[in-house]
Amino acid sequence: MAKESAFKFSDPELLSLNFKKNEEFKKDKENKPEKIQIKATVEEFPGSRKKFYLSLQVIIDNDGPYIINLVMRSLFDTTDVTDSSQINNFLKVNAPALIFSYIRPFLAYLTSQSGNGTLHLPFYNFLDSDKQLNISHNTGSDPE
């Protein structure tokens, strides 16, 4: 039987969204982004060394149907976790995957209302996040 995780998180919040329909997009082309950039930023929650904000930025800027720059974040509580390597792994793999799972349907719905077709972001493997994600850690500072 599955065991409940000691990690807790708050509902993700949309921090920023820049969305533009690409008027030059030819509707006969496949509605698939050619280039997706994903950047994660981890920040310690002020006054706590066991709570972290993780912000995930998704940038789609190419000759596809949309130009999108979106940032979503959530507060993660690791108070009940004692192993620091487990916390680091969670913040590199699980936390970005969790936030990305909120971004995918949000962008699918948003783009479905635009007239250029629905954009379905591909699944993303965060296990290799050191190589694929641009992760920066900001400690001891207030969140943006």
Q: What is the CATH number of the domain that holds 32?
A: 3.10.420.10
- 6's tokens: 């000691």
Number of domains the chain is built from: 1
- Torsions phi, psi of 45, nearest 5? -70, 135
Which regions of the chain are under pLDDT 50? 131, 139-144
- Residue 75 in any domain: the answer is yes
Rounded Cα distance between 114 and 21, Å, is 7
Give the domain range for residue 50: 9-114
pTM, entire model: 0.83
Residue 90 lies in a domain: yes
User: With helix as H, strand as E and coil as C, how does the chain read?
Assistant: CCCCCCCEECCCEEEEEEEEECCCCCCCCCCCCCCEEEEEEEEECCCCCCEEEEEEEEEEECCCCEEEEEEEEEEEECCCCCCHHHHHHHHHHHHHHHHHHHHHHHHHHHHHCCCCCCCCCCCCCHHHHHHHCEEEEECCCCCC
Q: Which residues, 6+ apart, have CB-to-CB distance to 8 below 8 Å?
A: 76, 77, 79, 80
Question: pLDDT value at position 140?
Answer: 46
- Within-domain flag for 66: yes
Task: Determine, yes or no, domain membership for 133.
Answer: no
Structural domain includes residue 53: yes
